[in-house]
Structure 1
Amino acid sequence: MTTRISKIKALLPILLITALCHAQISGNQVYGSSNSNSNRAQKNQTISVNNSMLTVSISILMNAKADGFVMTLGLNQEAESVKVCNAQINSRIDGFLAKIKTLGIQKEDRYIDFISQTKVYDFTVEGTTAKQFEKGFEIKKNIIITTKNSNDLEKLITFASEFEIYDIIKVEYFNEHSDQIHNNLFDEALLMTEIKKDKYLKSFRKKSVGTPEANEVFEVYFPKNQYKVYQAFESAEIETNYNNRNATYMKKIARKNKSFYYDGVSTAGFDKIINPNQTEVGIQYTLTLTVSYKIDTSI
């Protein structure tokens, strides 16, 4: 007993140092609001047993790099007539599409989506009277591009800016064989379930009978839903003198930069994590398999 207590005491400083290390590397993200929806830790009960039933639950998380990306760019054009407006926006689009051919992006990898064509109005002011008049037209279009090379994304943004295309609407990630990923995760979870079940039955000299019952939950997490925002700053306060009616105070608020960061599904609580150290932002897959076995109560 004395030896065991000594070992525990020896471990306490190590545990304390570990806790301090985690505190020191929390970073400025501590300024952000707490949100447990997208990266909540799993709390699955891996084994549950009673006199007649053994339930085993296995959870697996997989970090996968994207096989490709779909970028949507938005642009608009104003002119006095529809004909001129359409010609000008098409000229910008054609120039951009010709430029991206150097990246190997072919015709089948891009699509022009016509969004809207609207009238534009303005006002003339004469004295105290403001009169509205029709100024021209505005056309909006989106350019949708598919690429399998993540390095192309920055180049596409740079090329787009040369043609006054600045609106990066969204970037979607995809895997071409997500069905195969699902099958692999299921097979891995089933294997781990069998190992746990066999270990328990062997340890307690039990046997399973009949056909087991199973339940599976498969989920996919895309990067667009996994980003968080925070603002890290400390601000001074201004105390105004409300008793002095002649004093006037104006407070100009300085611009505070917002930071965004990727915060994927927490790895806590999973029985197995595939590609745990992947630094590239990608797609996350989780699979939880729960299997219930009937126990032979006659033994």
Structure 2
Amino acid sequence: MKKLFFTILTVLSSSFIIAQASGNVNYQNQGYYNNNTININFPANDDIVVSVKGLANIKADAYTAIFSVTQTGKTTKEVNDLIDQRITQSLNEIKLKKGVETFVDMISFVPVYEYETEKKLFNRKTYNEMPAGFELKKNIHIKYSNPNQLNEFISILSNNEIYDLVKVDYFSNTLETIKKEMMLKAKLLIQEKIKNYQELLGETFTNAEKRIADDYIVNIPVEMYRSYEAYNGSSLNLKKAANINPLNKSVTLYYQPVFNKEFDFVINPVVLEPVIQIQYEVKIAISREKKQVLKADKTEKEFILVTANGDLKILNTNTARPIH
């Protein structure tokens, strides 16, 4: 099986390995990342909501590739000697590369069991679990800055029967600088939008109550790979029951970045290779000033009654009192 996997691995071209530097972790059953676009919501009301979204595509300046190594053996000494030999021979050659750092991570060291058949006369076969040896797992972490070096690492490691590329992490030293740049761009755009709204409505929001919210999302390439099976299925009209033995279909991976169609501005819009993507959104909710309707003061009217005796009385809807 290892020989077969190595044959498949060596067929891969350099450009394919760089472009698909996500690792075999993506071959697991995975859910699609539908909610990878930033969206800040205010409670629903009658406020005016002004929003600006930004996207930045950042090329990584450092990478960390993780390779998994598994070794089995009859004794603990045999297992340790064999795995150390494979790892040491690989790292001695990898460390000669420029700008490369390595680290070996201990994962697990467990006994391995197998079943031994015991057959007795007039009884069914009995399968007894027996110790068979030990299994040791370690991970090799390789930090590098030139993405083309990944092919060289794979070639070196495969010579020592290390094939399992778990994943590749991407890093950038400019994330904070890009975030500040995005915040400044969003500030200018949202001020322009507010000004346009004021002109359209013919009013000012200077004294209006305002609420603000903003947030960032960072998407790394390992999250953004999709898979599909490329094949054309066939249909059979079988009259009788039959056994159907389907073949395993090849699973293909591809890098799917966040599209820039929903954003007000994009920094570095053209994406050629997997990149780190930063999304920024800021929202301002403006409570419009309600115009107060002034009601005219009601003037109380008085009615004066002259009695037969010549006395004057003031009449109103409630009471009447005489004027002396």
- Between the two proteins, the alignment pairs up a number of residues equal to 254
| Alignment of 1:216 onto 2:231 | no
In 1, Cα distance between equivalents of 2:226 and 2:184: 33
CA distance in 2, matches of 1:43, 1:139: 45
Greater shift in the superposed pair: 126-135 or 140-149: 126-135
Alignment of 1:130-209 (within 5 A): 130-202=127-199, 204-209=201-206
1:98 and 2:92 are equivalent in the alignment: yes
1:197–1:120 CA distance, 2 compared to 1 (3 A): same
TM-score between the two structures when normalised by the length of structure 1:
0.74
Quick one: higher RCO (CA 8 Å, sep 6+), 1 or 2?
1
Q: Deviations over 1:93-114 (max 9, x none)?
A: 11111111232245xx221111
- Where does 1:46-57 land on structure 2 (aligned, <5 Å)? 54-57=48-51
How far apart are the structure 1 equivalents of 2:216 and 2:189?
Answer: 16
Q: Determine the structure 2 residue equivalent to 1:21.
A: none
Separation of aligned partners in 1, 2:265 and 2:117: 69
2 CA distance for matches of 1:190 and 1:125?
A: 75
Deviation at 1:193, TM superposition (A): 0.9
> Which amino acid counterpart does residue 163 of structure 1 have in structure 2?
N
Structure number with higher helix proportion: 1
1:277 has 2:270 as partner: yes
C-alpha separation between the residues in 2 aligned to 1:268 and 1:179?
A: 24
TM-score of the superposition, structure 2-length normalised?
0.69
Q: 1: CA distance between counterparts of 2:32 and 2:129? A: 47
Q: Does residue 1:289 correspond to 2:282, yes or no?
A: yes
Whole-Å separation in 2 of the counterparts to 1:117 and 1:162: 24
State the partner residue of 1:86.
Answer: 80
Q: Return the match for 1:267 from 260, 269, 276.
A: 260
Instruction: Provide closer, same or farther for how the CA distance between residues 103 and 38 of structure 1 changes in structure 2, counting only shifts above 3 A.
Output: farther
Task: Encode CA deviations 1:118-139: one digit per residue, 9 max, x unaligned.
Answer: 1122234355444443222111
Q: In 2, Cα distance between the equivalents of 1:204 and 1:235?
A: 58
Q: Give the whole-Å Cα distance in 1 for the aligned partners of 2:75 and 2:199.
A: 82
- Any conservation in 2 of the 1:209–1:296 contact (CA below 8 Å)? no
2:140 partner SS: strand
Give percent identity, aligned residues only.
27
Q: Where in structure 2 are there 5+ consecutive unaligned residues?
A: 1-29, 120-124, 292-324
**SS of residue matched to 2:96:** helix
Once the two structures are superposed, residues 42-100 of structure 1 have per-residue CA deviations (whole angstroms, 9 ceiling, x without a partner) of 7899xxx97xx653210111111112111111101112211221111111111111111
In the alignment, the residues of structure 2 paired with residue 34 and residue 82 of structure 1 have an alpha-carbon distance, to the nearest angstrom, of: 39
2:33–2:224 CA contact under 8 A, matched in 1: no
Assess, with a 3 A threshold, how the Cα gap between structure 1 residues 56 and 249 changes in structure 2: closer, same or farther: closer
Cα RMSD for the two superposed structures:
3.0
Say whether residues 1:111 and 2:108 are aligned partners. no
Cα deviation, 1:208-231, whole Å, max 9, x if unaligned, reads 324853210211111122111112
Tell me which moved more, 163-172 or 232-241.
232-241
